[in-house]
Amino acid sequence: MYFNEEFETLPRQALEALQLKRLQAVVERVCANVPFYMESFGKAGVKSADIRSLEDLQRLPFTTKQDMRDSYPYGLFAAPLEEIVRIHASSGTTGKPTVVGYTHKDIDTWSELMARSFAAAGAHRGDIIHNAYGYGLFTGGLGAHYGAERLGASVIPISGGNTKRQIMIMQDFGSTVLTCTPSYSLFMAEEARAEGIDFKKLKLRVGIFGAEPWSEAMRGEIEEKLNLAAIDIYGLSEIMGPGVAIECIEAKKGLHIWEDHFIPEIIDPKTGRRLPQGELGELVITTITKQGIPLIRYRTRDITSISYEPCVCGRTHARISRMSGRSDDMLIIRGVNVFPSQIESILVAIEGVEPHYLLIIDRRDNLDTLEVHVEVDEQLFSDEIKVLQLLAKRIEKEIKDVLGVTCTAKLVEPKTIQRSEGKAQRVIDNRKL
């Protein structure tokens, strides 16, 4: 059940002592190696020697996604490139991605934490793990892959897409564990049904789902349609990738965050002040063992609460509640992180297209859909229909090429998209999770 019993069940006092030791070491490390932190700590008037207790963490300034963008691509790395063995990236608020680098030791830690996560979800040696998270710059595929191998299970590196083949393989290879986004799992179930395949006859026992928001209602639907226990897994590239936190199969109530590697805090996103246990706020994470790109008080923008209550599973690590939203406007469409501003910059670069647009997101047959409504100028609009069709195709292609998201572009007459006097409403999200 445990992968690393000693660390997963470390008594609170010992865990906190370890956290403090590691926190002091990481603060010293970034002060010595990362100009950004030298400057930001300097501005805040704190030195590494000031961190004498875990409470002192609050004296340190936050790190934001914008800070990562400003130091694109490698500015926040604390290790020289010669020591970086892997690079991943995720969407930034504009066209440039957020880049993260891992040393050998970082990959080793990540594999261990993913293996712990698999074990917490009830997976073990002998399991056949069907890994349908995307392989590539996205951390989902490779993160889960290395963890599954570390656990000693057999991993099928199927990646995303080609759903019919996925189902055939799950059936023929006897997959027992499924890893993918929650929405993709439901899409698979629908496809299987259409093919006349009964998911209940497959050997799947556990599904480990994350990378996008979902709900208790969706868990119920997945468990019923796929006939497995559905477990929530959380992570983000900036901090590591998947496996930062996971539910245990015993309780399925809150996600254990691996506190011997990460220090979580919940803050009020407006004031930046720490909130007490149980209150909803923004999750802030400090990585205390990372080498490639350690982050101090990283503002995840994810909204959750934290609990230090003991858990029936015996793990001593705190639990965060299912993510209940974000404190920024990031959307996750079919597992891809997208900011409206990214679509905007693609649109405004196209001649004849006006900067008035509306993004309509929906979920049909368990798959997210994105419609981009955009105004075109008077002259274009009176042109032949063929010209407009070509333009719509071009917009769809550029959005797909740059962001990796499939959409339908709808060109509309000038001045038909509602104007706003305050904050423009550019997104209508009709998905009901």
Min dist. Cβ of residue 138 to ligand DLL (A): 6
State which residue, 154 or 337, has the beta carbon closest to ligand DLL: 337
Min dist. Cβ of residue 246 to ligand DLL (A): 9
Min dist. Cβ of residue 35 to ligand DLL (A): 24
Tokens 């959307």 correspond to what residue? 331
CA distance 364 to 38: 49
Please report whether residue 90 would count as binding ligand DLL according to CB under 6 A: yes
Min dist. Cβ of residue 132 to ligand DLL (A): 10
Binding-site size, ligand DLL (CB under 6 A): 23
Of the residues 234, 262, 298, 357, which one makes contact with ligand DLL according to CB under 6 A: 234
Q: Where are the alpha helices (DSSP H) in 230-373?
A: 340-348
Min dist. Cβ of residue 248 to ligand DLL (A): 14
Of 186-225, binders to ligand DLL (CB under 6 A) are 210-213
Min dist. Cβ of residue 322 to ligand DLL (A): 7
Of 133-162, binders to ligand DLL (CB under 6 A) are 133, 138-140
State which residue, 331 or 399, has the beta carbon closest to ligand DLL: 331
Torsion sign, CA atoms 72, 78, 79, 80? positive
Provide the β-strand partners of residue 412. Answer: 375
Sequence-distant (6+) residues with CB within 8 A of 423 are none
CA proximity to 19, closest of 362, 429, 349, 316: 316
Of the residues 109, 117, 185, 237, which one makes contact with ligand DLL according to CB under 6 A: 237
Please report whether residue 93 would count as binding ligand DLL according to CB under 6 A: no
Q: Where are the alpha helices (DSSP H) in 313-420?
A: 340-348, 378-381, 385-403
Please report whether residue 120 would count as binding ligand DLL according to CB under 6 A: no
Sequence-distant (6+) residues with CB within 8 A of 348 are 355
Asked whether 342 and 98 are in contact (CB, 8 A), the reply is: no
Residue type at 393 in one-letter notation: K
Spell out, one character per residue from 382 to 411, where the chain touches ligand DLL: x when CB under 6 A holds, - when not.
------------------------------
Please report whether residue 63 would count as binding ligand DLL according to CB under 6 A: no
State which residue, 229 or 374, has the beta carbon closest to ligand DLL: 229
Min dist. Cβ of residue 303 to ligand DLL (A): 9
- Please provide the DSSP assignment of 204-256 as one string: --EEEEESS---HHHHHHHHHHHTSEEEEEEEETTTTEEEEEEE-TTT-SSEE
Please report whether residue 236 would count as binding ligand DLL according to CB under 6 A: yes
Min dist. Cβ of residue 95 to ligand DLL (A): 16
State which residue, 30 or 218, has the beta carbon closest to ligand DLL: 218
CA distance 305 to 325: 11
Of 332-371, binders to ligand DLL (CB under 6 A) are 332, 337
Provide the β-strand partners of residue 178. Answer: 130, 207
State which residue, 329 or 377, has the beta carbon closest to ligand DLL: 329
State which residue, 212 or 368, has the beta carbon closest to ligand DLL: 212
State which residue, 90 or 291, has the beta carbon closest to ligand DLL: 90
CA proximity to 44, closest of 296, 286, 282, 328: 296
The total of other beta-carbon atoms located within 10 Å of residue 167's CB is 18
Q: Going by DSSP bridges, is the β-strand pair 262-267/281-287 parallel, antiparallel, or unpaired? A: antiparallel
Both structure tokens of 182:
């929650």
Q: Taking CB positions, which residue lies at the least distance from ligand DLL? A: 210
Min dist. Cβ of residue 130 to ligand DLL (A): 14
For Cα atoms 43, 49, 51, give the angle at the middle one, nearest 5 degrees: 85
Of the residues 177, 197, 204, 323, which one makes contact with ligand DLL according to CB under 6 A: 323
The counts of H helices and E strands in the chain are 12, 20
Sequence-distant (6+) residues with CB within 8 A of 163 are 187, 188, 191
State which residue, 335 or 395, has the beta carbon closest to ligand DLL: 335
Residues that bind ligand DLL (CB under 6 A): 90, 133, 138-140, 210-213, 232-237, 241-242, 300, 302, 323, 326, 332, 337
